[in-house]
C-alpha cells in the first residue's frame, strides 16, 4: 500500500469519526406518571444526555397513561423504557437507567477516560 492510499484511508477514517460526532441521538423515554422509578429514569437519562451528549440529542418523555396509543405503537410492555431511535442500531432499555456505565454502553457512548 503506497503513501497515497494510506493518506486516503486516514482521511476517510477521520471523516467517518467527524460524522459520528455530529450525529444526533433521538431518544424516547416511556414512563408511567410520576412514580419514583419514572422520576429516577427521567433524572438519570437527562444526566447522561447533558453530561455526554450536550447539544447532540433529542429526548422525548412520554407518559403512557396520557398517550397509550404511542406506547402500543412502540410495543412498550414495561416502564420505564428508553428507545434509542438514532443513531442506528435501534436499542431498547428497560429500567430507571441507574447503572450509568451500562446505559452508556447500550447507547454506544464510550466512558470518559480517567
From first CA to last CA, the distance across the chain in angstroms is 36
* Per-residue confidence (pLDDT) for residue 100, from 0 to 100: 86
Q: Is residue 9 part of a domain?
A: no
* Per-residue confidence (pLDDT) for residue 105, from 0 to 100: 87
Q: Is residue 89 part of a domain?
A: yes
* Per-residue confidence (pLDDT) for residue 43, from 0 to 100: 96
Q: Is residue 61 part of a domain?
A: yes
Q: Is residue 1 part of a domain?
A: no
* Residue numbers of the domain that contains 69: 26-106
Q: Is residue 54 part of a domain?
A: yes
* Per-residue confidence (pLDDT) for residue 104, from 0 to 100: 87
Q: Is residue 7 part of a domain?
A: no
d(Cα 53, Cα 110) in Å, to the nearest integer?
A: 11
Q: Are strands 81-86 and 91-94 parallel, antiparallel or unpaired?
A: antiparallel
* Per-residue confidence (pLDDT) for residue 28, from 0 to 100: 97
- Domain count for the chain, please give it: 1
- pLDDT, mean of each 10-residue run, the chain (114 residues): 64 58 88 96 95 94 95 94 94 91 84 62
- pTM (two decimals): 0.76
CATH number of the domain residue 62 falls in: 3.40.30.10
The DSSP output letter for 59 is: E
Amino acid at each position: 500500500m503506497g503513501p497515497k492510499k494510506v493518506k486516503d484511508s486516514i482521511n476517510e477514517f477521520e471523516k467517518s469519526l467527524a460524522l459520528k460526532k455530529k450525529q444526533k441521538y433521538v431518544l424516547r423515554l416511556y414512563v408511567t406518571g410520576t412514580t419514583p422509578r419514572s422520576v429516577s429514569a427521567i433524572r438519570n437519562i437527562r444526566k447522561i444526555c447533558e453530561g455526554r451528549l450536550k447539544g447532540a440529542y433529542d429526548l422525548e418523555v412520554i407518559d403512557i397513561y396520557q398517550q397509550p396509543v404511542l406506547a402500543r405503537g412502540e410495543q412498550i410492555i414495561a416502564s420505564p423504557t428508553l428507545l434509542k431511535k438514532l443513531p442506528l442500531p435501534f436499542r431498547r432499555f428497560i429500567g430507571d437507567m441507574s447503572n450509568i456505565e451500562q446505559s452508556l454502553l447500550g447507547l454506544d457512548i464510550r466512558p470518559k477516560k480517567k
